[in-house]
């Protein structure tokens, strides 16, 4: 790679949950960095209540350049998610270098009456799907001697501190979601242990504060103070850093802003063309 080329020129990436929010922003940044990107979500067009669509994300990526592949699949369905990696590899022209498991099912409800069907849905999408996709891309990564798997997690994975416990806001409704993210963190570490020495890096990253995507706004909109929010650009910077980290950076559960500080990164705009100057800016 020459100094003038973007960081990820020619890399092939998959980003799940890319119709809106963090997934769409990460996909756009990877494309801006030169990657060929396969984006996946449940539907091609608009969600019934949320803005953004897979088609709109693809349109934005196409303007950047590189190959864009759309794979419509429901991660809650084992058969549908089994298609994602083969279809992405066929359309991008080779095996996958980068997998970003961003998609998540987030149904906030008290564990006292949380129905089994919803628990199963949550774990299918947040726990089983990331492992299935990782298992599908790992052979190609190992054969090349390098690869990057990034799982997007959440601070809700950590047990609540107390007693006394904080019960305001969504604190009493995030138990099952947090449990699924705790499982994601642990399986990330387990994959890294087994893949150590192969060149495949496996990490999770969670926001330090809330990233107000379309989905987050629907779930907790109006319940967050300014100090509880970080910018989309900051979260994306952390994710992209893990898409090009060194081999010894693996098996970790990183926190977005802490990772940015650790690596001394400037937070770039979502199109990668300059330093982000919005609230919470980190950079020169």
181 is catalytic: yes
Provide the whole-model pTM: 0.92
Domain count, the chain: 1
Catalytic residue among 29, 81, 128, 181: 181
Burial 254-282 (b: 16+ CB within 10 A, else e): bbbbebbeeeebebbbbebeeebeeeeeb
CATH code of the domain in which 99 resides: 3.40.50.720
Q: What are the tokens at 1?
A: 């790679």
Does any domain span residue 43? yes
pLDDT at 224: 47
Does any domain span residue 270? no
Catalytic residue among 53, 73, 157, 177: 177
**Cβ-Cβ contacts under 8 Å for 61 (sequence gap 6 or more):** 27, 28, 31, 37, 39, 68
What percent of the chain has pLDDT above 70?
88
Does any domain span residue 25? yes
Does any domain span residue 278? no
177 is catalytic: yes
Tens digits of residue pLDDT in 185-210 = 999 999 999 999 999 999 999 999 88
Distance CA 266, CA 94 (A): 32
Does any domain span residue 271? no
pLDDT at 227: 52
> Which residue segment(s) compose the domain that 162 sits in?
12-263
Does any domain span residue 283? no
Does any domain span residue 238? yes
Does any domain span residue 205? yes
Cross-strand partners of 68: 37
């Amino acid at each position: 790679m020459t100094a003038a080329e973007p960081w990820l020129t020619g890399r092939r990436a998959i980003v799940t949950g890319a119709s809106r929010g963090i997934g769409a922003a990460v996909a756009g940044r990877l494309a801006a960095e030169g990657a060929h990107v396969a984006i996946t979500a449940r539907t091609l067009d608009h969600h019934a209540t949320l803005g953004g669509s897979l088609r709109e994300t693809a349109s934005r990526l196409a303007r950047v350049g590189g190959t864009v592949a759309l794979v419509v699949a429901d991660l809650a369905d084992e058969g549908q998610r089994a298609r994602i990696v083969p279809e992405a590899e066929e359309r991008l022209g080779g095996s996958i270098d980068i997998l970003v498991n961003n998609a998540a099912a987030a149904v906030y409800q008290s564990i006292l009456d949380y129905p089994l069907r919803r628990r199963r849905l949550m774990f299918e999408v947040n726990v089983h799907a990331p492992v299935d996709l990782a298992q599908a891309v790992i052979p190609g990564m190992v054969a090349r001697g390098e690869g990057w798997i990034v799982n997007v997690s959440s601070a809700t994975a950590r047990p609540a501190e107390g007693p006394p416990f904080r019960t305001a806001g969504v604190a009493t409704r995030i138990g099952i979601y947090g449990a699924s993210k705790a499982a994601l963190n642990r399986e990330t570490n387990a994959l890294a242990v087994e893949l150590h020495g192969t060149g495949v890096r496996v990490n999770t990253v969670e926001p330090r504060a809330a990233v107000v995507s379309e989905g987050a706004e629907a779930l907790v909109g109006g319940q967050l103070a300014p100090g509880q929010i970080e910018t989309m650009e900051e979260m994306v910077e952390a994710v992209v850093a893990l898409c090009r980290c060194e081999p010894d950076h693996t098996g970790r559960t990183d926190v977005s802003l802490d990772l940015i500080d650790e690596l001394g990164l400037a937070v770039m705009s979502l199109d990668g063309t300059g330093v982000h100057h919005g609230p919470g800016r980190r950079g020169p």
